[in-house]
Every structure is written in structure tokens, then in C-alpha cells.
Amino acid sequence: MKTYIGIDIGKKGGIAVISSDEITTYPIPLIKDELSYSDLFDLIEHIQLTDLAKANGDIHIVFEKLGVIFGTSKITAFSMGYQSGAIEMIAIALKIPYTKVPAKQWQKEMFQGVEIIKKPGRTNNDTKAMALIAVNRIFPKQKLTFGTKATKPHDGLIDALLMAQYAKRKNY
């Protein structure tokens, strides 16, 4: 059995590990408001070396292939690209196979059966709301927050779970 690691890139991102029927989740490691690349490397290496991952064989990482996001600043676009490159290099350094998947591609698969929800007063889809519905349908018992005080589902965790499940369905 494979272990699938879904990574939602961003400072508010998340990491989801699906191995057999066990799910483990982590927030993207930060130092204050900046991504900690060394802690991210250590975390991915730890996941790779755990007994769970060893017992289940291969590991595969999936994360979003970035495209142009309308309305984002140059600083945000650069930061996201930098993070994407860092994750790619971590996978290469640890010799973990990986796949970059456009958001529309994994969302099309994972949103099957979810009614289209539009953003209020807009014509584009509310993918965050649709992702929450999809993740609750697929993982009805999964905790969607980090920490003990959080009550609002974590968007990065939701997307990471859906990407890991997408990779599992596609048998990457």
C-alpha cells in the first residue's frame, strides 16, 4: 500500500498524509509569519521514515501546479512559486516521487457530486465552500482544524486532504 502526501502550498497551507486507512495532518511549518523550509524538510523526511510509511511501501507527494491567480500581487505570486520550488526540491532530495496537479484538475475529480456554489455577487465558483462539502462527504469523521481552540475548518488542511485522496484515487 502506498502513502500519499498532499501539500497545500502557502503560509496558511497544510499537509495531509493518507496511508491505508490512517490519516495524519500537519500545518505548514512557520517561524512567525514565514515558512520554515528546514522544518518542512525535516517533517517530510520524518513522514518518509516513519514505520507507517515503511510498512506501506512507496510514498508519493502531490501538490498544486501553480498557474496565474487573478487578483494576487507579484509578491504573493513569487512567494507561492518559491514554496512550490522548495517542495519540489525536498521531494528530489529525499528521492520521493511527486506530481504537480493543476487545481482545476484535482477539484474536478474531488468535487464530483457537489453542487456548484457561486461566490456571493460573483460569477466564479466558491471552491473553498465546495471543498469543505467534498471533504466532509469523503472524510466525515476527520478533524479539520489544527490545535485545541480552533473551530473554523482550516482551508489548507482541506485542500491537502483532497489532493492526497486525489493521488490515492489516481494511484500515483
Residue with cell 471533504: 135
Q: Where are the domains of the chain?
A: 3-170
Q: How confident is the model at residue 44, as a pLDDT?
A: 95
- HSE toward the beta carbon, residue 16, CA cutoff 13 A: 32
Q: What's the whole-model pTM score?
A: 0.92
Neighbours of 153 (CB within 10 A): 16
Residue 157 scores a pLDDT above 70: yes
Render pLDDT for 28-41 as a digit per residue (tens, 0 to 9): 999 998 899 999 99
Better-scored residue on pLDDT, 73 or 165: 165
Say which amino acid occupies 31.
I
> Which CATH fold would you assign to the domain 3-170?
Nucleotidyltransferase; domain 5 (3.30.420)
User: Cβ(41)–Cβ(90) under 8 Å?
Assistant: yes
Question: Which pLDDT belongs to residue 25?
Answer: 96
Nearest Cα neighbor of 115 from 132, 130, 93 is 130
Other Cβ atoms closer than 10 A to 158 = 22
Q: What are phi and psi of 171, to 5 degrees?
A: 55, 50
pLDDT of 122 > 80? The answer is yes
Q: Residues for the chain: how many in total?
A: 172
Percent of the chain with pLDDT over 90: 73
Question: Mean pLDDT score of the chain, rounded to an integer?
Answer: 91
- Angstrom CA distances, 61 to 45, 66, 117, 159, stand at 12, 15, 29, 14
Question: What pairing do the DSSP bridges indicate for beta strands 34-35 and 30-31?
Answer: antiparallel
Q: Grid coordinates standing for 167?
A: 493521488
**Three-state secondary structure call for residue 125:** strand
